[in-house]
Structures are given as C-alpha cells and as structure tokens.
Amino acid sequence: MSITSLETACAGILALGLLIAAGTDLKARIIPNWLVLAIACGAPVWWWASGLTLWPDVAWQIGLGLAVMTVFTAIFALGQMGGGDVKLLGALALWFPPIPMLQLLVIMSMAGGVLTLFLFLLHKARKREGNPEIPYGVAISIAALWVLYERNLNQFA
C-alpha cells in the first residue's frame, strides 16, 4: 500500500511536534498546550489523507482518544503522570488505531522504564534529595515516533 504525499506531510509534521514535545519536556518538564492542541487538530487531516470513513473509522479514533484520556486522567489523579503527558497521549490516540496505539503504550512503558532508571541513578549519583522528575513526554515521543515509522515508512513492515 502506497502512502500519499499528504500522509507523508502529516507524518512529518507529527514527528516534528513529537520532537518539540520531547525537547520542551526534557528542558522545562512541560508539554505546551498549544502543541498538544496542534497535534490533536492535525488528526482530521490525517484521517482524510489516510482515507478513513466517518463511520466506523473516525468514530473509533474519537472513542479511542476518549478512552485513553479517561484512563490516563485517572493515572494523573493518582499523581503518577503529568497533565501534559496525559493530553499528549489523548491527542496521539486520535492518530493511531487501537493496535498501533497499544504498541505505542507498550514501547512507551519500556522507554519510560529505561528513562526512569537512568534519571534515578543520575539523581542518586549527584546525591540529590527526594525523587527525580521524569520527563515522560520523552518516552511518549520515542514510542510514537517508533510506531509512526513502523506504520508509515517501513516498507518491510
């Protein structure tokens, strides 16, 4: 299946947004709302470029976005994840169908575990008090870029 140039452009813009999200989260521990909104607003263009039908395809994407937001909002309420991370995941759920989104979550968990371990060890090596802040937007972005690459750019997948 060949992808169109509009799909490629959308994927490139999403990739750029993910790199910005990772960079701002790493630098300032924040994912800007304008960036998450831009990613979410890009999803309908992606749907159109990908040939999704309003029913059931787009309805599934919106439902998946709501489900992801609901689950991760509960995790946020428990103090285990930042609000920007939750919003970014919800926006990404508008882009990725259920199976790729599940892949994203699994890769995110693994990347987040490695990132957390690295930052924990660095925190202890610098003999700092308390727990380190984890820029989980980095893990989310790595996972989303991985799935985006596999889904759209890897001709062997």
Chain position carrying tokens 């800007």: 32
Of 50, 85, 61, give the one whose Cα is nearest residue 71: 85
5: left (phi over 0), alpha (psi -120 to 50) or beta: alpha
Q: What's the pLDDT at 4?
A: 78
Tens of pLDDT along the chain (157 residues) come to 456 789 999 999 999 999 999 999 999 999 999 999 999 999 999 999 999 999 999 999 999 999 999 999 999 999 999 999 999 999 999 999 999 999 999 999 999 999 999 999 999 999 999 989 999 999 999 999 999 998 766 666 5
Name the phi and psi angles at 113, rounded to 5.
Answer: -65, -45
Query: Measured at the alpha carbon of residue 4, what is the angle toward residues 23 and 90, in degrees to the nearest 5?
Result: 40
